[in-house]
Amino acid sequence: MGHKVHPNGFRLGVYRPWEANWFAVDKDYTKLLHEDLEMRRVILRRLHNAGIAKIETERSSNAQMTVTIHTAKPGIVIGKGGASVDQLREDLEKRFGNRVRISIQEIKQPELDAQLVAENIASQIERRISYRRAMKQSILRTMRSGAQGIRIALGGRLRGSEMARREWDREGRVPLHTLRANIEFGRATAKTTFGMIGVKVWIYKGLVKIAPRGGGEAAEIAPQPVVPADGGAAAEATLPVTAEAPSATAVAEAPAPAEAPEATAPAAEPAAEAAAEPKPAAKKPAARKPKAAEPAEKADEDGGKDASS
């Protein structure tokens, strides 16, 4: 009970890439890891008003580090004439001793980024705006931007209550157990006079099309028949129609083979009867020949008698 999995880490390697792309041997891994963490803290501290959603790092073999900053306000990050980004690059190079290249990516729809939505709600709570109103407005803007679902959870001393509690609201679908679901997760902390309030946001954007293994294109699925609401009765009603049609066509196409045995069977019986009838007729002449010979014999006998007499 209560075992939660981070939505971003749960989908790493399925369709979501890592935010840090580099390789190191065992002895250098700890050093590079702490450098990445410290670099993210420095950037977020200096550009906390720039609406930074994500920071990606990449290290090349020639000791050069590429930092990609995803922000909703690129003008604040770049500064006037690029002065802010140049100063940030120089500070990072002095701090970590590597060549740093900074790339800035603009977020076109901040309402669909979970981290920016969480930071927006936290800033409203810090300005003493009702947390219910902040949640409702954020949900409305996100759903209007094209999201299929959003969930927001707040935890802490809401409205300055003595007992901390948890409040949440949701609209649409948020399938956390589906690996192919494109769900973004973000969290922020609102520091108020009566304590810290945590904000968590889940945004569901739809299913991700994953390429099959081997690099081939996914096969198109044939359209399936639509089953009506009363699927059982409708299926039973259609079964007799599909069963009668093949039988009618089969009889229409080949009537002769089906009727031939019935017509030949009666014809064979009279032929057998006719063949059986002549046999007695052949026996009758054989039976009559002795009868015809009897008078001759009798006549001979009579003639002999007369002669003897």
Is the pLDDT assigned to residue 281 strictly greater than 60? no
pLDDT at 222: 72
How many CA atoms lie within 13 Å of 302's alpha carbon, on the beta-carbon side? 6
- Write the CA distances from 190 to 42, 133, 203, integer angstroms: 20, 15, 20
Structural class in CATH, domain 7-108: alpha beta
What integer best gives the mean pLDDT of the chain? 79
Q: How large is the average pLDDT for residues 102-127?
A: 94
Work out the end-to-end distance of the chain between its first and last CA atoms, rounded to an integer number of angstroms. 143
pLDDT at 120: 95
Contact (Cβ atoms closer than 8 angstroms) between residue 152 and residue 145: no
Contact (Cβ atoms closer than 8 angstroms) between residue 143 and residue 152: no
Q: How large is the average pLDDT for residues 85-108?
A: 90
Is the pLDDT assigned to residue 245 strictly greater than 50? no
Determine the Cα–Cα distance for residues 302 and 296; give it in Å rounded to an integer. 9
Angle between helical axes of 278-308 and 255-276 (0-180°, round to 10): 10
Lowest mean pLDDT across 77-91, 99-113, 153-167, 238-252: 238-252
Lowest mean pLDDT across 30-39, 194-203, 253-262: 253-262
* Residue 170 phi, psi dihedral angles, 5° rounding: -150, 150
Structural class in CATH, domain 112-207: alpha beta
- Name the residue with higher pLDDT: 139 or 281: 139
- Name the residue with higher pLDDT: 151 or 259: 151
Lowest mean pLDDT across 19-23, 147-151, 287-291: 287-291
How many CA atoms lie within 13 Å of 268's alpha carbon, on the beta-carbon side? 6
User: Largest Cα–Cα distance in the chain?
Assistant: 174
